[in-house]
Amino acid sequence: MPDFPSQPPMPPGLPPGREDADGTATVERLTQKTEPPRLYQVLLLNDDFTPMEFVVMVLQEYFRHDLDTATQIMLKIHHDGRGVCGVFSKDVAATKVELVLAAARRAGHPLQCIMEAA
Ligand code: TYC
């Protein structure tokens, strides 16, 4: 048995398919469907100016990758033009993009960070 019934309980006193004495009762079931929240990829884009070490630092600090993984992702971006840093809920992805862009601008680098529906 699941913890939650798939349908809400029927209202008390009126079995399904019956009307009350004056014929006015309406018994309605609403099937509620909740979609899972959409996920978003955060990507870094390649450029010719941001130092490789800065990109590796970003991947470690903001996306919690270890040094090896961060280096592999950075090299993939360097060669392919873009690469995925991580997949998050919409709010978390948007916050990561803002934090990464702010850090890059503070350091004077043109690094671009974007999010896309996964
Ligand atoms: N192409 C940059 C360089 O050669 C390194 C780099 C990698 C920049 C990834 C941005 O998202 C990036 N210094």
Residue that has been written with the tokens 């709010």 in this structure: 91
- Classify residue 4: in a domain, yes or no: no
Q: Which helix (H) or strand (E) holds 117?
A: strand 112-117
Q: What is the pLDDT of residues 69-83, one digit of tens each?
A: 999 999 999 999 999
The best mutation among 52, 60, 73 to test binding of ligand 1, ranked by most ligand atoms within 8 Å of the C-beta, falls on 52
- Classify residue 46: in a domain, yes or no: yes
Q: Among residues 95, 112, 8, 1, which one has the least CA distance to residue 54?
A: 112
pTM over 0.85: no
Question: Structural domain of residue 83, as residue ranges?
Answer: 39-117
CATH of the domain at 57: 3.30.1390.10
- Classify residue 31: in a domain, yes or no: no
- Classify residue 16: in a domain, yes or no: no
Q: What is the pLDDT of residues 49-99, one digit of tens each?
A: 999 999 999 999 999 999 999 999 999 999 999 999 999 999 999 999 999
- Ligand 1 atom showing the smallest separation from residue 49 Cα: 13
Q: Which pLDDT value is given to residue 30?
A: 72
- 77 close to ligand 1 (CB < 6 Angstrom): yes
- If you take atom 7 of ligand 1, which residue's CA is the nearest one? 78
- Classify residue 6: in a domain, yes or no: no
- 75 close to ligand 1 (CB < 6 Angstrom): no
- Classify residue 14: in a domain, yes or no: no
